[in-house]
Each structure stands twice: as C-alpha cells, then as structure tokens.
Amino acid sequence: MATKKTDDAFSLSSFEPAKFADGFREFAEKGAAQSKEAYAKMKTAAEEATKTVEATLENAQTGTVELGLKAIDALRTNAENSLSHMEALLGVRSLSELVELQTTFIRKQAELAVEQAKTMQEATKKVAENVAKPGKDAAEKAMSSFKKA
C-alpha cells in the first residue's frame, strides 16, 4: 500500500497542464508588473538625479561668476587707490608729509582688505549654500521616501 500512495503523489495523472499554465502565466504577469514598476521608479530617480546635477552646476556657474565679479571689483578698487596714492606721492614736499601720506594709505588699505575679505567670505558662503541646496533637497526627499516605506 505504501507504494500506491507514492505512485499517486508522483503520477502524471494528477498533473493538470491548464492549472500549470495558469499558474505560470500569473507568475509571469506579476514579474512583468514588478519589472515595469521597478523601471518606472528607476526612471523617476534618474530624472530627479539629472535635475539635481543640472541645478547644482547652474548654481555653481552663477556663483563662480558672482565671486569673479566681486574679485574684479576688489582688484579695481585696490588699483585705483594705489594709483591715487602714487599721484599724491608725486606732490609730496617734505618727509613728514610723505610719512603721513604713507601711513594713511597703509591704514586705509588694511581696513579695505578686511572689508573685502568679509565680503568675499559672505559671498563664498552664499555660493556654497546655493550649490549644496539641490543635493541637500534631493537627499531630504530621498530620506522622507525611505521613512514612508
């Protein structure tokens, strides 16, 4: 009798091709649907990553131009001050006038250098924040989607 039960379990007469085909079709359809869903998610993620990179590069370019203009302005101011100082030196009539003119010029240049450094530091900080913003926003969005899942 034990052989009969074994024969029944492995016999081909209990195999129904229609049920097998239905099960296989259902499995294939689920796999295809999951693949389409995964592709859609990957496509969306790639598009968002591209937008993030584009925004980052645009902000970096804008910031670079802004910093370059500030540097040019500082150089122009320093050159103009130096030329004015040279003109003033040509009109010096005494040693005491020379010392006073030179001392005043050096003090003004030092104050200007501190002011220009602060301006550049603030501008650089602003540019860095703007460049990092798209990446930061994308990371926050990704983290919030992980928290939902």
- Is residue 36 domain-resident? no
- Is residue 80 domain-resident? yes
- Is residue 31 domain-resident? no
What local confidence, expressed as pLDDT, does residue 122 receive?
Answer: 95
Q: What is the pTM of this model?
A: 0.64
98 vs 149: which has the higher pLDDT: 98
What local confidence, expressed as pLDDT, does residue 98 receive?
Answer: 95
What local confidence, expressed as pLDDT, does residue 46 receive?
Answer: 84
User: How far apart (Å, rounded) are the C-alpha atoms in residues 121 and 128?
Assistant: 10
User: Per residue in 51-92, pLDDT tens?
Assistant: 888 988 898 999 999 999 999 999 999 999 999 999 999 999
Q: How many domains does the chain have?
A: 1
- Is residue 33 domain-resident? no
Q: Is the pLDDT of residue 140 over 50?
A: yes
User: Per residue in 8-41, pLDDT tens?
Assistant: 555 555 667 667 677 778 888 888 888 888 888 8
Q: Which domain holds residue 131?
A: 57-148
Mean pLDDT of 114-140: 91
At residue 1 the predicted structure's pLDDT band, cuts being 50, 70 and 90, is very low
Distances (CA, A) of 57 to 52, 69, 123: 9, 18, 17
- Is residue 5 domain-resident? no
What local confidence, expressed as pLDDT, does residue 106 receive?
Answer: 96
Q: Is the pLDDT of residue 6 over 60?
A: no
User: How far apart (Å, rounded) are the C-alpha atoms in residues 67 and 45?
Assistant: 32
- Is the torsion defined by CA of 84, 90, 92, 94 positive or negative? positive
Q: Are 58 and 131 in contact (CB under 8 A)?
A: no
- Is residue 75 domain-resident? yes
What local confidence, expressed as pLDDT, does residue 17 receive?
Answer: 67
User: How far apart (Å, rounded) are the C-alpha atoms in residues 95 and 37?
Assistant: 85
Give, as one character, the DSSP assignment of residue 93.
-
What local confidence, expressed as pLDDT, does residue 82 receive?
Answer: 96
- Is residue 130 domain-resident? yes
- Is residue 95 domain-resident? yes
Residues 6+ apart with CB under 8 A from 14: 8
